[in-house]
Amino acid sequence: MLHPSDETEFDHAVIMVRDRLDALAPHFEGQGFLLSETSVHNLGSCNRLIPLDGTYMELLGWPPGAPPARKEIADSPFGLEALVFRTYDADATYARLREEGFEVNPVQLLSRPVQIDGHEKQASFQTVRFAEQPIAGIRMYFCQHLTPECVWRPSLMAHPNGVLRIHQIEILTTDVQQVAWRLGVVADARVEESASGWDVVLGNLRLHVVHDDTALVPRLGRLAIEYKDGIRELDVGV
């Protein structure tokens, strides 16, 4: 279960599958991940989750043959697509981001049905989303879990591949220090220089910002996952 921390925590990584959720889910199951059942949000998008220790990965898309249900994901590319930070008080996070000068939408309620032990429950969240992303090229937002027991279900966390948690997420840019510091302000997190770039230090992982001459617009790079036998890059299969 979730416990408030003095440091901002990472909540989940969004893996965009667009209208191919059913087609791509077996790719992740074949790697030894357990996936939640397909669920449809009140906003029209659909997902399947891979719950981990304190974080999770979300396979996000929309029903095949239908237009994208949400404007903010309509043009999203396949693969690692968004960073989601955790908040325990969506209203306070909204106020902080406004004070920092970011363009933030009002707190939004997000929900979806989930089957637990044969009973339907509503997984509910409050999200803080940006009207304009703080860093062009990288979608990010904040999520407060109102029903964390609907996400971190023990039956879905005993993955056959021995996965434990997200270890690190890479961000590629031509302006490493500026992007790192901007991320630090958004997340209200420490920023440290490292041997190969700059790190945004969250309570449960690091965002590693590195130089890439081709990333004139910043973009997400590798997602490294910790398994019982070591750390490996996630194969998103798209």
pLDDT tens per residue across span 13-29: 999 999 999 999 999 99
Instruction: Give pLDDT, residue 1.
Output: 59
pLDDT tens per residue across span 93-151: 999 999 999 999 999 999 988 888 888 899 999 999 999 999 999 999 999 999 999 99
Q: What DSSP string describes 169-218?
A: EEEEES-HHHHHHHHHHHHT-EEEEETTEEEEE-SS-EEEEEE-TT-SS-
Instruction: Give pLDDT, residue 42.
Output: 80
Instruction: Give pLDDT, residue 125.
Output: 96
Report the amino acid identity of residue 95.
A
Instruction: Give pLDDT, residue 2.
Output: 76
Instruction: Give pLDDT, residue 44.
Output: 76
Instruction: Give pLDDT, residue 79.
Output: 95
Instruction: Give pLDDT, residue 202.
Output: 97
Greater confidence (91 vs 45) lies with 91
pLDDT tens per residue across span 140-150: 999 999 999 99
| pLDDT above 90 coverage of the chain, percent | 80
Residue 233, SS3 per DSSP: strand
pLDDT at 209 over 90: yes
pLDDT tens per residue across span 47-66: 999 999 999 999 999 888 88
What is the β-pairing status of strands 219-227 and 230-233? antiparallel
What are the helix and strand counts (H, E) for the chain?
3, 14
Q: State how far the Cα of 151 lies from the Cα of 56, in Å rounded to an integer.
A: 8
- Spell out the residues 6+ positions from residue 236 whose beta carbon is closer than 8 angstroms to its own: 15, 78, 79, 80, 223
Maximum alpha-carbon separation in the chain: 52
Instruction: Give pLDDT, residue 65.
Output: 82
The residues that bridge with 119 in the sheet, in sequence order, are 116
Which of the four CATH numbers 3.30.450.20, 3.40.50.300, 3.30.300.30, 3.10.180.10 does domain 10-156 have? 3.10.180.10
**pTM recorded for the entire structure:** 0.95
From residue 191, alpha-carbon distances to 47, 85, 124, 154, 202 in Å are 32, 16, 31, 34, 9
44 CA to centre of own chain: 18
Across the chain, mean pLDDT equals 94
Residue found under tokens 């930070």: 85
Q: What DSSP string describes 112-168?
A: EEEEETTEEEEEEEEEEEBSS-SSTT-EEEEEEES-GGGTS-GGGS--TT-EEEEEE
* CATH number assigned to the domain covering 163-233: 3.10.180.10
pLDDT tens per residue across span 174-186: 999 999 999 999 9
The residues that bridge with 140 in the sheet, in sequence order, are 83
**Are the folds of 10-156 and 163-233 the same?**
yes
- Domain positions in the chain are 10-156, 163-233
